Structure 1
Amino acid sequence: MNILDWKDIYDSKVVSAKEAIGYIKSGDRVVTGHAAGEPTYLIDTLVDNYEMYENVEICHLVSLGEGKYTRPEMKGHFIFNGFFLGAGTREAVAQGYANYSPGFFHEIPKLFRTELPVDVALVMVSLPDKHGFCSFGTSSDYTKPVADSAKIVIAQVNEFMPRTFGGNLIHVRDIDFIVEHSEPILEQQPAKVSILEQKIGKYCSTLIKDGDCLQLGIGSIPESVLPFLWDRKDLGLHTEMASDGIVDLMLAGIINNKRKKVEPGRSVITFVMGTRRLYDFIDDNPEISMNPVDYVNDPVTIAKNDNVVSINSCIQVDLMGQVASESIGLRQFSGVGGQVDFVRGAAMSNGGRSIIAMLSTAKGGTISRIVPFLDQGAAVTTSRNDVHYVITEYGIALLKGKTLKERARALIKIAHPKFRQELREEYERRFLEPYEYAPAVRRSVKETAEE
């Protein structure tokens, strides 16, 4: 029997980008790699040849690219269906010539295997190793599962893509068409943290203890916590996303994952998004375990770790504790992402805590983020039943186990001072008692222990 060497298999699948995208047919559903794993060369080639197609559906979550396929002139050729919106795709959905589909991040791979079967996966991978395995590098998330289930897999092989450990590999025999094109992968510079966000980060850090297992969401608020963790010991990391902030904490041994129950000794991540420094750090690093999102973000998996601390941000919180993180009124801004996955995973974790952190105002201080009612049409991302702590630059509000009156009072205390009076007036209308009335203090076991 003649058994081909993997190199022969590889060579037999190498084609030009133009030839590869020729296997995409009108009406196909095409799912592209995620975040820094976006196969930019393949996507650019697809867009450059848009007249070849009619009604090709393009799906993805976070994109760092320009989203050229969402431009008005692409109408009739491509239709974008996003599960998380960003700068390159948000306006297209707002203008009605693209779509948004809600869904918890950990359920996205299942959606692409069932209700939304994938015709073509466009992905980016590393160079193959000596056994013929390529790595999805920065993005396992839904990218790896989609490549496992798609009818056709087209891979851009890029020497700049790092190789990462974990469940994040594909053998060349499982790739249908290989396009060799090396270029620097997309980067995202660290978020600039304001003085007020530093205050929020410090408040958040007071709820983080030695040995805790962290999840950090996207943006400057979660990033603001990291500088306040230098005196902690034996922190763990089990997170949807990681950025440059983890590098120094891991190098210093502050994040060492010694006390974790799930993959002790390794940081478990589903995608990274940052600068080349981060990408070089995860390359061939046995302390990093990159895995699909239906494993990493599954609340059951998260809860197997003790003392999970989940830190995410939002757009608005109402006086009942309902959290809107993805839309501004009817305008879809981003997506659910993994916020609810980790809020619930932390709640199920022994000793777990979840934090929703935000600046108290938006638009230069003209709008309060703590509001009597969410904007009309706004989606409730995290329900009032799930919320644990809410933090602004004015302090910490513990909502778990609190009555509606107690929740409202706690949130008014951490609202911006110039909006507190109107919030107090709403309190009095709603609860039919003066805000100045001082009810009996009901301290929780948690609060008593913290004192």
Structure 2
Amino acid sequence: MNNLNYIAAEEAVKLVQSGKRVFIHGCAATPVCLIEALQARHRELKNVELVSITTLGNVNFDRPEHRASFFFNSLFVSEATRAVANCDDGDYVPIFLSQIPQLFRKQILPIDVALIQVSPPDVHGYCSLGTSVDIARAAVDTARVIIAQVNPLMPRTHGDGFLHVSRISGMVWHESALPEVDYSSKVSDAVKKIGYNVASLIEDGATLQLGIGSIPDQVLHNLNSHKNLGLHTEMFSDGVIDLI
């Protein structure tokens, strides 16, 4: 552990106040320990708006006791947010991923607090946003307050994903495995049939653009006999590994 002023998650999330908008780092960088600590404060908070894309891990945003405390404004509906996005205490904003940073930078959806997960800082004090730079870059650039889970298991990635510790208001050292998704674990016969039928429409030499989920994964499982396939895509699931 670096010789820095780390505090407990319960202490760090006290920086969140009622009526504020909170960005939550998503995908494999979802800061589960910070989310749980924030939810534990639900009796002290009112009208806190949560903003995020895909959130992973063992988190639940659809709890009756949180109704008056948190409103989830989802920019990409995932399993953890689907129920709350479809109720009175949540919503969904249809938008391209590439346009979301403009919501933050142009103060259309200004961020008060950013909850993120980062790698430990290097000797110069720079942490990495790790596996999920995506919209988090704009969030940390514009947020008034940044609370970070510092995880030694978060990969240090290069590019425009570095953040200096001087920008972080609360640092929480918490080592935990990054959340993973296995889309092949819950596959119905209908999904298998859809994957087979879609794959039958793909010719050798085709270029693939893939989504994530059980159906795209099943399509990939049925492409092993194809030749000279290309890949030009935003996101893809583990089925690509075996295909390659």
1-side partners of 2:205 and 2:183: how far apart? 22
- Matched letter for residue 188 of structure 1: V
Partner of 2:141: 148
CA shift digits 1:68-94 (9 cap, x unpaired): 343221122111111222333222233
1:223 aligned to which of 192, 207, 217? 217
Distance 1:70 1:140 in 2: 26
User: CA 1:203–1:131 in 2, change beyond 3 Å: closer, same or farther?
Assistant: farther
Cα distance in 1 for residues equivalent to 2:79 and 2:30: 15
Distance 1:60 1:207, change over 3 A: farther
Q: C-alpha separation between the residues in 2 aligned to 1:139 and 1:45?
A: 21
Q: Is the 8 A contact 2:204 2:229 kept in 1?
A: no
Per the alignment, residue 201 of structure 1 pairs with: 199
- Alignment map for 1:408-419 (pairs within 5 Å): none
Q: Deviations over 1:389-411 (max 9, x none)?
A: xxxxxxxxxxxxxxxxxxxxxxx
What's the counterpart of residue 234 of structure 2? 240
Give the 3-state SS of the residue equivalent to 2:234 in structure 1.
Answer: strand
> Who is 2:9 aligned against?
17
Distance 1:136 1:244 in 2: 22
Distance 1:202 1:128 in 2: 48
Measured against aligned partners, the alpha-carbon deviations of 1:1-45 in whole angstroms (never above 9, x if no partner) come to: xxxxxx66xx14x22111111111111100101122110000001
1:257-336 to 2 correspondences below 5 Å: none
Tell which deviates more after alignment, 72-81 or 125-134: 125-134
Within the candidate set 52, 58, 78, 2:50 is matched to 58
CA contact (8 A) 2:213 2:237 kept: no
Is structure 2 residue 25 aligned with structure 1 residue 27? Answer: no
2:82 corresponds to which of 70, 90, 94: 90
Q: CA deviation at 1:207?
A: 6.5
What secondary structure is seen at the aligned counterpart in 2 of 1:189? coil
Aligned residue in 1 for 2:98: 106
Say which of 104, 109, 118 aligns to 1:116: 109
Deviation at 1:172, TM superposition (A): 2.3
**Any idea what the Cα deviations from partners look like across 1:342-364, whole Å, max 9, x if unmatched?**
xxxxxxxxxxxxxxxxxxxxxxx
| Gap change, CA 1:240 and 1:159, over 3 Å in 2 | same
Q: Mind listing any 5+ residue stretches in structure 1 that lack a counterpart? A: 1-6, 255-451
Given the two structures, how large is their TM-score scaled by the length of structure 2? 0.85
Q: Which has the higher contact order (CA 8 A, sep 6+)?
A: 2
Could you tell me which amino acid in structure 2 is paired with residue 48 of structure 1?
A: A
After the TM superposition, which residues 324-363 of structure 1 pair with which residues of structure 2 at under 5 Å, given as runs?
none
Aligned-partner SS, 2:39: helix
- Give the CA deviation at 1:115: 0.5
| Corresponding residue of 1:380 | none
CA distance in 2, matches of 1:130, 1:92: 42
The 3-state SS of whatever aligns with 1:87 is: coil
- In structure 2, the gaps of 5 or more residues are none
User: Percent identity of the aligned residues?
Assistant: 39
Letter in 2 for 1:178: M
| Shift, 1:168, TM fit | 2.4
Letter aligned with residue 50 of structure 1: H
Give runs of aligned pairs for residues 245-256 of structure 1, distance below 5 A.
Answer: 245-249=239-243
Counterpart in 2 of 1:361?
Answer: none
Greater Rg, structure 1 or structure 2? 1
Residue 142 of structure 2 corresponds to residue 186 of structure 1: no
1:288-321 deviations in whole A, cap 9, x for unaligned? xxxxxxxxxxxxxxxxxxxxxxxxxxxxxxxxxx
Count of residue pairs the alignment pairs up = 236
SS of residue in 2 equivalent to 1:70? coil
Structure 2 residue aligned with 1:133? 126
Amino acid at match of 1:93: A
Distance 2:96 2:61 in 1: 24
Aligned to 2:153: 160
Moved over 4 A (4+): none
1:139: Cα distance to partner?
1.2
1:216 counterpart SS class: coil
Question: Does structure 2 conserve the Cα–Cα contact (< 8 Å) formed by 1:119 and 1:152?
Answer: yes
What's the secondary structure of 1:224's corresponding residue?
helix
